[in-house]
Amino acid sequence: MPFPNVAINDLYEAYDYIIIGGGTAGCVLANRLSRKPDVTVLLIERGHAGDSWQSQVPMLSSHFASDGSQSRVWTTAPQTHIGDREIQVLGGGSLGGTSKINATLYTRGLPAEWNSWAQISGGEQWNYENMEEYLLKSEKNLDKNLEGKHYHQVAGEWPHRSFPISWDHTVQSVLIKATSSLGLPYIEDLNSPYEPAHGFAKLHFCVNKDGSRASTSATFLPQQLVKTRSKHLHVCLNTVVHRIQIGAEKEKPRTEGVWIQASDGSGSPRLIHTKNEVILAAGTITSPQVLLLSGIGPEKHLEEHGIPVTKNLPGVGSHLQDHLAVPVQFQVPMNDCILKLRTQIWLIIKEFFLYFFFGLGMLINASTMDAILFVQTRLLDEDNRVSAYSKVDMDARIPANLPDLEVLPIASADESILKKAKTKLGGLTLYSVSLRPESKGTIRLTSSNPFASVSIDPNYLSSQADRDLLRKGIRLSYKLKAQMLEQGYPITDLHTPRSTTDEDLDEFIDKECVSVYHYSSTCRMAPEGDGGVVDSRCRVYGIEGLRVADASVMPGVPSVHLAAVTVAVAEKCASMVLEDAKGRAYS
Interacting residues of 274 by C-beta distance below 8 A, sequence separation 6+:
14, 15, 16, 17, 18, 255, 256, 257, 258, 545
Domain(s) of CATH 3.50.50.60: residues in the chain: 1-75+89-132+213-320+443-457+519-587
Binding residues for FAD: 98, 241
Given a contact cutoff of 8 angstroms between Cβ atoms, the answer to whether 564 and 108 are in contact is yes
Residues of the chain with pLDDT under 50: 166-168, 585-587
The fold of the 163-202+324-434+462-512 domain, in CATH, is: Glucose Oxidase; domain 3 (3.30.560)
Binding residues: 98, 241
The pLDDT value recorded for residue 167 is 41
Burial readout 386-398 (b: 16 or more C-beta within 10 A, e: otherwise): beebeeebbebbb
Q: Is 478 helix (H, G, I), strand (E, B) or coil?
A: helix
Pairing mode, if any, of strands 255-262 and 239-246?
Answer: antiparallel
How much of the chain is helix, strand and coil, in % rounded to 5?
A: 35, 25, 45
The pLDDT value recorded for residue 393 is 92
The pLDDT value recorded for residue 506 is 98
- Annotated catalytic residue 48: no
Domain(s) of CATH 3.30.560.10: residues in the chain: 163-202+324-434+462-512
Catalytic member of 63, 160, 204, 518: 518
Q: Does domain 1-75+89-132+213-320+443-457+519-587 have CATH number 3.50.50.60?
A: yes
Q: What is the dihedral of CA 247, 250, 251, 254, to 10 degrees?
A: 10
The pLDDT value recorded for residue 165 is 56
The pLDDT value recorded for residue 585 is 46
The pLDDT value recorded for residue 169 is 52
Given a contact cutoff of 8 angstroms between Cβ atoms, the answer to whether 29 and 570 are in contact is yes
**Cα–Cα distances in Å, from 257 out to 42, 234, 247, 262, 297?**
11, 15, 9, 17, 18
- Annotated catalytic residue 323: no
How far apart CA 545 and CA 538 sit, in angstroms, is 11
